[in-house]
Amino acid sequence: MTGGAKKKMPDRKGKSAIETKGWQLKLYVAGQTPRSITAFDNLKLICEEHLEGKYHIEVIDLLEKPQLAKGDQILALPTLVRHLPEPITKIIGDLSNTERVLVGLDIKPLC
Amino acid sequence: MAKLKKNVKPEVALLQKCLTGIKGLDEITGGGLPKGRPTLVCGGAGCGKTLLAMEFLVRGAIEHNEPGVYMSFEEKSEELTTNFASLGFDLNDLVSHKKLSLDYVQIERGEIEETGVYNLDGLFIRLGYAIDSIGAKRVALDTIEMLFSGFSNEIILRAELKRLFSFLKEKGVTAIVTGEQGERTLTRFGLEEYVADCVIFLSHKVSEQIATRRLRIVKYRGSVHGTNEYPFLIDEQGFSVMPISSLGLDHPASNKRVSTGIPRLDTMMEGKGYFQGSSILVTGTSGCGKSSVAAHFVDAACRRGERCLYFAFEESRTQILRNMRSIGIDLEQWVKKGLLEFRNSRPTLCGLEMHLVSMHKAIEVFNPAIIVIDPISNLVTSASENEVKSMLSRLIDFLKMKGITALCTDLTAANGSLERTEIGISSLMDTWLLLQAIEANGERNRGLYILKSRGMEHSNQIREFYLTDKGVQLRDVYVGSSGVLTGAARIAQVAREKAEKLARSQDIEQKQRNIERKKEVIEAQIAALRTGLAAEKEDLDQAIDRENLYQKVLDEETLAMAQTRKADDFVSMKKSGSKPGKRGGK
């Protein structure tokens, strides 16, 4: 599932990946806490606004799959990992600061 | 509760301890780290924090069957594995047996953008998962301070750290948390605020170009612990701490005696030699024969089939063998038989603690009955006197516990007082032999005293000490009005006395001869007198005889005359027998 996708993606060139698959985002959370829900909602909003139709969000609940924390070097929660486009970037927190999220994801506001 | 019997009061809930398995550390802490609680290990860079943490886990996994989780924030798992392979720890093997879990937590500030509130649940989950997956009892976090470089929100971080430590306590794992030493604080980010149960401080000081590692237990709640700075060592077998004072003075004292290897020296000590397990100090200026005394002792022990370990800090093995051969002691045969082993090293090769630990180790491995340290005074070059003294007191304590007889030689400075040792350790020693050069009449000769020998009546006399091709020989010295005579002066004195004796005996002979002669003379005189007397007596007898003859003749003549005269006298004379003298009738 996620593991397979992760391995395949970097093989391709970054730019073509954006065009074909778009944005691969993973949101790591621990359970259905208000904070995780806030983070997810914030992310959804930002993506809808700036990356409409070309993004894919995967939510990973570490309470269910703790073994996945090691792979992406997750310490803080919630953490948003941008796997694609490269390079991998991480954003921690509940994503309430939209501007910082945009900077972190390196999304240029649409003009 | 029952575990800690040593404590006098059986309290309700004594602090349980977790044996680290690290040499010496368990002694100082009185049984290990607080069980189920985190312990902070702090110190500067390169002082051995990582090693201590890792060895704690590895020893736990191997010796106490307690799996451990190593969470590294600095070194990658592969790097750790490589680094510890050089210490003989096969981490991969432990990992594959689920005895150890290595987790490298990568923190890169540049990758992380902080947007809003967060917590460190990810770390907790990772740690919790690692602990649960192998049933870990021990955890090492090395060094968790790296988190401060990864996250800018210190308020959140501190709250999370606090939560982390209570999380560890809840998990019931014994944890070691390492922290870099700060400017004025134990750790740069004040981790000691969170880990308050046990704090161990490591330092790595360099003095006189020789580095010494030290360990100190800053605090240990709920337990007595050694408070000193204990030197420790990192070598190919890992971490070893040397407790200075944890060894008590309760070693058994043996009544057995061991020969010194020099018969006359044995005689000076009630004819039996040193006590087994005692410490012997041989001091003297250079060239006094200290090593030779040591070699005799070694030789005698090997002859009894005992094992000897010879720590030489001045000469190489072959040099000692050669030199001792020149005084007729063949030590090489014992080396070949495996009874004697040499450990030669320069004192400056490493710090004093390293010497001590390597000596400890060598002793543990070789298990000797006697050891020789030749000379201890050279160790001063690698450390201060105080350190040497403390090291030696620890070493001697250790040897006494093991019942090993130790002979140490000590070079005294030529100008100093002889009855003082360079290191001031004479009070630690049971027997003290002093070799002294006696300088007189243009020669240097050697004298040997027993300055002290605890527990035995020893000779208080000086002996002259010779190095011959048959080893050390002791002789009585001449004590005359001009002091002790040795060497040529002694020989001269012997000759002188011999001459005097000869002269006296000649004198007597002369007198005897005189008397003899006198006696002969007197006897001759007596004989002469006797002869004279006898001659006189003979004369007298002859005179008497003559007189008688004359008388007889006279009588006969008278008778004949009377016959012819027909005198009355004649008739009466005939009748009465003889009255010839009656010449009055005429």
Tell which of B121, B126, B152 to mutate to test the A interface (max A CBs under 10 Å). Answer: B121
Burial (0-12, 13-18, 19+ Cβ within 10 Å), A20: exposed
Residue B145: CA atoms inside 13 Å, Cβ hemisphere, count?
A: 21
Contacts of B446 (CB under 8 A, 6+ apart): B288, B289, B435, B436, B437, B438, B464, B465, B466, B467, B486
Q: Please state which of the four CATH numbers 1.10.3470.10, 3.90.1010.10, 3.30.1370.10, 3.40.30.10 is assigned to the domain occupying A20-104.
A: 3.40.30.10
- Closest B-chain CA to A82: B111
Please give the pLDDT value at position B483.
67
Strand partners, A56: A24
pLDDT digits (tens, 9 = 90+) for A9-33: 444 444 444 444 678 888 998 888 8
Number of Cβ within a 10 Å radius of residue B187: 25
Number of Cβ within a 10 Å radius of residue B74: 18
pLDDT of A72 > 50? The answer is yes
* Cα–Cα distance for residue pair B493/B185, rounded to 1 Å: 75
CB proximity A2 to B under 8 Å: no
Q: Which residue of A89, A90, A93 is in closest CB contact with B116?
A: A93
Please give the pLDDT value at position B481.
62
Strand partners, B436: B447
Contacts B123 to A, Cβ<8 Å:
75-76
Q: Is B116 within 8 Å of A97 when comparing Cβ atoms?
A: yes
ipTM score assigned to the predicted complex: 0.78
- C-alpha distances in Å from residue A32, one per residue of A28, A38, A59, B488: 11, 10, 11, 104
Closest C-alpha among B458, B457, B461, B439 to residue B448: B461
B133 min Cα distance to partner chain A (Å): 10
Closest C-alpha among B18, B17, B21 to residue B63: B21
Taking the mean position of all CA atoms in its chain, how far away is CA B509?
57
Q: DSSP string covering B469-517, please?
A: TTEEEEEEPEEETTEEE-HHHHHHHHHHHHHHHHHHHHHHHHHHHHHHH
Pairwise pLDDT comparison (B394 vs A44), residue with the higher score? A44
A80 min Cα distance to partner chain B (Å): 9
Closest C-alpha among B60, B432, B501 to residue B268: B432
Cβ pair B315, B323 in contact under 8 A = yes
Please give the pLDDT value at position B528.
95
The phi-psi region of residue B489 (left if phi > 0; otherwise alpha if psi is between -120 and 50; otherwise beta) is alpha
CB proximity A30 to B under 8 Å: yes
* Cα–Cα distance for residue pair A7/B22, rounded to 1 Å: 43
Residue B273: CA atoms inside 13 Å, Cβ hemisphere, count?
A: 17
pLDDT per 10-residue tile (average), chain B, 586 residues: 46 76 82 88 86 90 91 88 86 89 81 79 89 91 83 85 89 90 79 80 79 84 80 79 61 83 87 88 83 90 92 88 89 90 81 76 87 82 72 82 88 62 71 82 81 84 83 78 71 85 93 95 95 94 94 91 77 57 48
Contacts of B441 (CB under 8 A, 6+ apart): B487, B488, B489
CB proximity A81 to B under 8 Å: no
CB proximity A89 to B under 8 Å: yes
* Cα–Cα distance for residue pair B174/B145, rounded to 1 Å: 19
Which is it for strands B17-18 and B463-468: parallel, antiparallel or unpaired? unpaired
CA-based torsion, B544, B546, B550, B556: positive or negative: positive
* Cα–Cα distance for residue pair B50/B40, rounded to 1 Å: 12
B393 min Cα distance to partner chain A (Å): 50
Peptide bond into A87 cis (omega under 30): yes
Residue type at B74 in one-letter notation:
E
Contacts of A77 (CB under 8 A, 6+ apart): A28, A29, A30, A35, A36, A62, A92, B118, B119, B120, B121, B122, B125
**Orientation angle between helical segments B352-366 and B385-402, nearest 10 degrees:** 10
The residue ranges of every structural domain in chain A are: 20-104
Contacts A100 to B, Cβ<8 Å:
113-115
Those residues of chain B whose CB sits closer than 8 Å to some CB in chain A are 103, 105-107, 111-123, 125-126, 128-129, 147, 150-151
A107 min Cα distance to partner chain B (Å): 13
Number of Cβ within a 10 Å radius of residue B439: 11
As a residue count, chain B comes to 586
* Cα–Cα distance for residue pair A85/A18, rounded to 1 Å: 6
CB proximity A103 to B under 8 Å: yes
Q: DSSP string covering B293-308, please?
A: HHHHHHHHHHHTT--E
* Cα–Cα distance for residue pair B260/B273, rounded to 1 Å: 5
Q: Which residue of B111, B119, B125 is in closest CB contact with A63?
A: B125
* Cα–Cα distance for residue pair B398/B251, rounded to 1 Å: 9
A88 min Cα distance to partner chain B (Å): 8
* Cα–Cα distance for residue pair B484/B462, rounded to 1 Å: 9
Q: How many CB pairs under 8 A join A and B?
A: 95
CB proximity A35 to B under 8 Å: yes
- Residue A32 tokens, joined: 């259905």
pTM of the model: 0.65
B343 min Cα distance to partner chain A (Å): 49
